[in-house]
A and B are shown apart, each in its own frame.
Chain A
Amino acid sequence: SAVISQKPSRDICQRGTSLTIQCQVDSQVTMMFWYRQQPGQSLTLIATANQGSEATYESGFVIDKFPISRPNLTFSTLTVSNMSPEDSSIYLCSVDQQYRGGEQFFGPGTRLTVL
């Protein structure tokens, strides 16, 4: 399975600021995904990031709030913009290694606290 790393692992930020989360994979992958897990909740997909195209956002998530970059097949970033305490969550990236039949493997997550 792919090895996925995320930076930072955790951060405490002030209201109104922005944070960029990095996701690095040790192999080339077609699809990368960004999920949000609010405290005590399940995972919700924010967007799908394919290299060479614009990210596809799920209902309730917009590019101005969560801009995503996917410059190559091993790397992606998610920015959480103009943060509020409601953005306090774990943000996880995942990859879909289709040759393994659609399994998604997840990074360790970024724990974000907004004060």
Chain B
Amino acid sequence: AQKVTQAQTEISVVEKEDVTLDCVYETRDTTYYLFWYKQPPSGELVFLIRRNSFDEQNEISGRYSWNFQKSTSSFNFTITASQVVDSAVYFCALSVPGGATNKLIFGTGTLLAVQP
């Protein structure tokens, strides 16, 4: 069975601080995809990144970076120099391709509050 765990329910930081959101996943499949989504207070789900299981290179996009480590089954997300606009719920998700569906399995989300 597949599972995604986001142990941090809520994180509060002050603007300009760096913050890391943790994500641990479980799957027995060797081919899978990992995702991060952002859900601001308006409610829409914004796609941030997709990583496949064969690509362990870390990725940086502006102030965002992702650290994928298969050895620890983790896919952590770091925001550098956080801003108030980063305040949102962040979801980590897992999908295993193949079969009739490509469904996403979501973690419980981490609420990030960035204080000015």
Contact = CB atoms under 8 A, between A and B. Distances in A.
Interface residues of B, number: 21
A86 B114 CA distance: 31
Q: What is the interface of chain A mostly: helix, strand, loop, or mixed?
A: strand
A13 interface: no
A42 B109 contact: yes
B29 to A, nearest CB: 13
**Which 7 A-B pairs rank lowest in CB-CB distance, beginning with the nearest?**
A106-B45, A48-B101, A42-B106, A108-B44, A43-B106, A42-B108, A45-B103
Interface of B: 33, 35, 37, 43-45, 47, 50, 52, 91, 95, 97, 100-104, 106-109
A102 B50 contact: yes
Chain A interface size, as a band, is 20 to 34
Contact of A104 (B43, B52, B104, B108): B104
